Amino acid sequence: MSLILEGFMGSGKSAVGKELAKRLGLSFIDTDALIEAKQDCRIADIFEESGEEAFRQMETAVLQGLLLTDDEAVISLGGGTPVRDANQSIIKALGRVIYLWADASTLIRRLESGTEERPMLKGGDLAHRVKKLLGEREKRYMELADIVIDIQDESIEEICCRIMEEV
């Protein structure tokens, strides 16, 4: 059974996922990286050229492809992936879902540099955008989660240890 990391942008899904996979001897899969490799361009460019809906369809296609493999892995989802209705049953079928939770102020602090690579945060006040998106997504994150890990003030190593204890 795979471990699926979900959470808002800046929650550390990729960094935690890589370390967790290493500790468990599993492969690490970042769904955003898979999309970028398949499309041969950055997610920001996909959003700009094709729009959010096209990107969300690509996310669903990647998840469906992961269902076809029997390999156990640590899978990092894009922050908006769990919000799409079509993705929820696929995510649950892939494995145990771990929500890396942080409050809005922690996420804002982590996201202050690097918003140019995050199309959902473009335009307007960063704090407002984060709070709005988090408000829209948090219920879905909680509904899907088998485990919720508070990642605030925790190192990657501490988060991995907590996940391993829970799993």
Check residue 71 and give its pLDDT.
87
- Phi and psi based region of residue 51 (left: phi greater than 0; alpha: psi -120 to 50; beta: remaining): left
Confidence band for 120, pLDDT divided at 50, 70 and 90: low
Q: Which of the listed CATH numbers 3.90.1150.10, 3.40.50.11900, 3.80.10.10, 3.40.50.300 matches domain 2-162? A: 3.40.50.300
Task: Give pLDDT tens digits for 100-113.
Answer: 999 999 999 888 87
Confidence band for 65, pLDDT divided at 50, 70 and 90: very high
Highest averaged pLDDT of the listed ranges 11-20, 66-75, 117-126: 11-20
Mean local confidence (pLDDT), 132-158: 95
* Mean of the per-residue pLDDT values of the chain: 92
Question: What are the residue boundaries of the structural domains of the chain, listed by start?
Answer: 2-162
Of 41, 30, 28, 24, nearest in space to 78 by CA: 30
Mean local confidence (pLDDT), 124-142: 91
Nearest-5° angle of CA 4, CA 149, CA 75? 15
Q: What is the pTM of this model?
A: 0.92
Query: Tokens for 35?
Result: 């999309």
The per-residue DSSP string of 88-136 comes to HHHHHHHEEEEEEE--HHHHHHHHSS-GGG-GGG-SS-HHHHHHHHHHH
Which residues lie below 8 Å from residue 68, measured CB to CB, with a gap of 6+?
none
